[in-house]
């Protein structure tokens, strides 16, 4: 796989919601995507109960900080 973009954003309800098979697909492919894209971001709703177990919160890169603040 050849990356064709500097950033890859994947937006999905299932990113942080363990209901259904799509969550399993997203979680399973994340390690591979990180191999090909230095900047791979998964964006989804925040469910506090599930986030405590799954979320590894990090600050966004400086060049994307404004966009992340605007999405709050």
Domain count within the chain:
1
pLDDT for 2-38, tens place per residue? 767 778 888 888 777 777 777 778 778 888 888 888 8
Predicted structure pTM score: 0.65
| Short-list 11, 9, 10, 18, CA closest to 47 | 18
Question: Is residue 16 in some structural domain?
Answer: yes
DSSP 7: E
Measure the CA–CA gap between 32 and 37, rounded to whole angstroms: 9
Q: How confident is the model at residue 66 (pLDDT cuts 50, 70, 90)?
A: very high
Q: How confident is the model at residue 56 (pLDDT cuts 50, 70, 90)?
A: confident
Residue range(s) defining the domain that contains residue 62: 7-71
The yes-or-no verdict on residue 70 having pLDDT over 80 is yes
Question: Is residue 2 in some structural domain?
Answer: no
């Amino acid at each position: 796989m050849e990356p064709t973009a500097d950033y890859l954003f994947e937006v999905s309800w299932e990113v942080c919601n363990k209901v259904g098979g799509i969550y399993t697909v997203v979680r399973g492919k994340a390690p591979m995507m990180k191999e090909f894209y230095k900047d791979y971001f998964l964006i989804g709703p925040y469910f506090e109960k599930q986030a405590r177990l799954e979320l590894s919160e990090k600050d966004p890169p400086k060049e994307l900080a404004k966009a992340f603040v605007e999405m709050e």
